Structures are given as C-alpha cells and as structure tokens.
Structure 1
C-alpha cells in the first residue's frame, strides 16, 4: 500500500529530478498540476559567501504551493521531492541533508549509494525516502538500509539508466518487496503509465518529456532536439560521467564526436565535488530517454500533465472488463 503522501496524486506520476534541468519553476508547475515534482539538491548552486540557494529554493517552493493550496482547497498541489546524490565526492551532502531536514522535505530521493543516515534524516522530519536502483541486488541493499520505497531505473531511461528490461526488474523486486515501487524507463505517455502499473509498479517516474517544457532550465536547442528526436537517436555511454547513461546522438555529433565510436570511462572518474558530473567541454552533451518519440512540442508542464492524464484515463477506459 502506498504511504498517504503518494495516495492522492492526479495521476500516478513522479517527475524525476534532472541534472541542471529541474528547478523551482518546473517543480512548482508539476506539483500544481497534480504530480510529484522534484529536483536534485545539487542544482541549487551559489557562489562562495552567498546564502545557500537550496534554502532559498525550498522556501520559494513551500510558499508558492501553500498559496496555491489556500486559493484552491478543492485542488491542492501534490507534494514535492528533493534528490540527494549520495556519492562520496558530494562534499555538500551533509549540509544539504541539514537544510532538507530543517524544511521538512516530504519526499527524499537518493541516488548513487544507499546511506542509513539519509533515510533516518528523512524519517526524523516526517518524510519518506525513495532510492533509485538498477538491479535487484541494489534494491535489497536499499531496503535493508531503511529506504521506504524503490525507483526501478530500467533500460531506456534518461540519465544513469540501468541495462535491464522493466519486465524483468519489476518482476524480481515484486517477488519480495510489497512497498512503494516506481518505474523509470521510456515512459512518456499516459498509456505507458498504466502499463507500468499493470507490470507491478505503483507509479511512473517520468523525466525526459519534461525537458521540453516552458519551465525547464534547459537550453532552447536542447528542448528542440528532444522534440525532433526519437528512440534511435539515443546512445548509451559511460564516457561522460563514468556511469552508463543515455544521451542524444545529435548533441554528441555537435560536440565533434562520433556517437558510434565513444570511449568508455570508469566509475572512479565520477566527481560531484563541484556539483558537476562532467567536464565543461561536455556541457552541451544532453541526456534523454528512449521515450522521447512521444514529445513533439515545447509546452507548459501543466499542459504535459493534462495530456498524460487524458491518455491515462483513456487507456484505463479501454481495458476490457468482465
């Protein structure tokens, strides 16, 4: 059974946190539209000596959602989530945990490592902790360390995608885990959201379609490339971060490289000490998942959620019933 905080969403969708792309504007728009909005804590950056931007962002999100709820008591906003990169190179982790704890962030999403103390901090302020994993072994470790729910990142997902079929991954996890389970991987339509539930997931975890939204912190050319590309334009490579991820081939070509002849990099090269997972020379190499063939226009995030909701309702109505 889902925890209460995830039970009253307009549709069973969490907007996934995207490096650089996700900020307060997108999160607020997603939450107002009725799905969970999220952002990586590391996206909130400030110069030395300036107030913590994460503190400023969380204050803004909470205040704007509170104003929305007061004005729309019959249509309250969905909760929001903050993603913590739990990697040894993330020098900000302890500070960001303290800020999120102080703001009582309702949903914590952890990536690249499961840490007991992060889950405990989430629970101590009344939140829940979801951990993203790419295989069943990592799923078991995350639950053992106190995660309340799991995000199964399957083949075809944007960012640091796993190699396994969603059918296999969800099946293996559901053999032993009956808690909250989200699925990530090429989900870009309401029909796909329903399919994720039929497979055994509780909610869909959607990222790439939200890159092509008005509120996303993405280069206009990036948004346009999402709209103009499809599954065949996605390349899987470990070169850019040290961990296997999915990227837009046209952006790799624009950087002067052949997407079919990329070197590999080791996970030891991953470094979040400066809030960046790749060198500046690769800053215009853009990630995306295989579901982008369903994205054709740059639209407000609310309009995208409207489309997903209409498709989801239509798909449910079309399912044969005895």
Structure 2
C-alpha cells in the first residue's frame, strides 16, 4: 500500500503505486539479486548494474541467470501476496563506448522484458529503442541541465539528477539548482540523487520537485548487500567529512570513503587527477580496484548508524517520511 496521497497517474505504469517515492540506485559490485529482490519486496524499485553479472569464460551469461532468478522470485512473491505485490526492478546499462558487452546485455534485457532501464555515461538512441521494444522505460542519469536535454532528445523517458553529495560518480551542482533548471522544461519522471538517507531527505527531494528519491549508499550497510564486512562497518562509522571527491580512480569525478583511500596507501588530501580517457569498461569497470579497495559512498552516510536488513531500512525511511510530512503539514493548517 502506498503512503502518499498524490495522483501519480502522470507517471509511467512501472513507477506507479510504490510504497514510497524511492528508487534504489544500482551499486557497482554491491547490488546483486538478493539485494534487488529484497528492495522490490519492500515496495521500492530495486536495481543492479548489468556489469555486476560477470561469468567465467565460456560460461552461460550470468546476466541471463540473474534476471531469471529475480523475475521468478518476484512472481512467487506476488502470487503469495496479491495485496502486497513487489515493486518492479531496474537494470543499469553503462553506455560508454568501451563497454564491449553492451549489445549482448541489451539483447538479454529485451528478452527478459526488463521493465525499467537506467542508463549511464552516454545517451544513445539505439539503447532507448531497445528498451521501448520490450515495453520498458528508460531513466538516464545526468549531472547538469545540458546533459538532461540531450538525454530526453535521444528518447529517454525520465531523468536521474545526480547532484552534489551523491555516492559514486556524483555531480557538483546543488540539488535545488539542478532540479529547478530541469523542471523549467521537463515534467516527466525525475529522480534526485545526493545524500538521501533519511525520510526527511526523501521528503525534501519531493518538495524540491523530484518525483522520487534515488538512494544508494545506505544499502551498502544491509545484510543483503554484496560488500565486504569492513566496507559495511566503515559506512556505519563514517560521516560526510569522511567523503573525498576524486577523478583518480575512474577518470570521472566520484565520491569515496577517506579511510579506504588511506588503507590503500594513498594520501586522501593529495590525490592526483585523471581524465575521462582513462575510463575503460571493457572488463566491467574502468579500474575494478577502485571499487574493491577504494570504496565509494555519498555524503548522507552520517545517517547510517547500524547494519540492518533491507526491509527494516525501508520501513525506517517510511516512518521518517510520514513523520516529516505530517510535521511540515501542520505548519500550513489552521
């Protein structure tokens, strides 16, 4: 059952009727079927990067196996819980030209009729057409208004505004400025990313003009996440001051945990920079070490104070969201 009373009929069918206006961001290495299934069963859109599914040479494509696992488990859940169906899931496609798996992964996603596609690092017409051919919708992540317009011009259905404070490849603009500029010309689905780790922050995203909050880093500290125990504990113990922004590790500006940089023998206060030419997704990541040893996170992790399961985290966000909404609503009554 949804907790919001607004009319969401203007949104694509895949984004209607969610328990919360919340989409789980796809986390490199971290997001695996167990986490995605838990997110969807909790009533929010779960997601994972297609490149997380890596099989050995000569083996059956793991992406195909994962999609079968996810769809069959969610189907079983829906049959057993017709009054509390799972939310749909999303697959993130890295559209950068160095992703040699892209064509194969697109074909697999079309065959499985993936309902929501999240595209990153490049907007391409043929990718959007592939999604639409199987009834899917495309949400493209962007860091500024110029890229937003290009994405919609090339056929994306909605946008993920990645603002300052987000984990991974974050933008530099204030969420208030970015959402406002986009909303001056675009009234379609808009998701906001950037330090959304509480129900109050989720409400703020809605008040700013976004349809959904896009939440990533808090899910690292869940039991279902495919993260090392030390990574999960570092999320719990760290705060916004422990986040370092650097382009060194992937060639694109991103946010990382300072203690993990120090543990790798680097000086987090004196990191060299790198340019986009160093990006290479031919083997799944521009530099896998950047995510296995240098751990990404957003500035909202100060709100994460315990390891928990996904269902409990979503329930906490729901409770906080409702409380924050009622508190603010009281200011405008009487």
> How high is the TM-score relative to the length of structure 2?
0.95
Shift of 1:277: 2.3
Instruction: Please list the CA deviations of residues 121-162 of structure 1 after superposition, one character each: whole Å capped at 9, or x if unmatched.
Output: 111101100000000000000000000000000000000000
| Conserved 8 A contact 2:163-2:170 | yes
Does 2:284 match 1:275?
yes
Shift of 1:281: 7.5
In structure 2, runs of 5+ residues without a counterpart are: 1-9
Query: Which of 219, 223, 235 matches 1:214?
Result: 223
| Conserved 8 A contact 1:25-1:215 | yes
Relative distance call for 1:188 and 1:60 in structure 2 (3 A) is same
Using the alignment, how far apart are the partners of 1:182 and 1:281 within structure 2? 26
State the Cα RMSD in Å. 0.9
Query: What is the aligned partner in structure 2 of residue 183 from structure 1?
Result: 192
Query: What is the aligned partner in structure 1 of residue 62 from structure 2?
Result: 53
| Conserved 8 A contact 2:29-2:291 | no
In structure 1, runs of 5+ residues without a counterpart are: none
Does 2:262 match 1:262?
no
Instruction: Please list the CA deviations of residues 249-273 of structure 1 after superposition, one character each: whole Å capped at 9, or x if unmatched.
Output: 0000000111000000010000100
| Conserved 8 A contact 1:230-1:290 | yes
Query: What is the aligned partner in structure 1 of residue 81 from structure 2?
Result: 72
Query: What is the aligned partner in structure 2 of residue 292 from structure 1?
Result: 301
Query: What is the aligned partner in structure 2 of residue 197 from structure 1?
Result: 206
Does 2:322 match 1:321?
no
| Conserved 8 A contact 1:134-1:154 | yes
| Conserved 8 A contact 2:249-2:290 | no
Aligned length: 322
Using the alignment, how far apart are the partners of 2:212 and 2:11 within structure 1? 10
Query: Which of 98, 103, 106 matches 2:112?
Result: 103
> How high is the TM-score relative to the length of structure 1?
0.99
Query: What is the aligned partner in structure 2 of residue 158 from structure 1?
Result: 167
Shift of 1:279: 4.9
Shift of 1:7: 1.3
Shift of 1:59: 0.1
SS in 1 for 2:265: coil
SS in 2 for 1:235: strand
Runs (4+) of structure 1 exceeding 2 A deviation are 279-283
Query: What is the aligned partner in structure 1 of residue 135 from structure 2?
Result: 126
Does 2:233 match 1:224?
yes
Using the alignment, how far apart are the partners of 2:200 and 2:143 within structure 1? 23
Shift of 1:280: 3.5
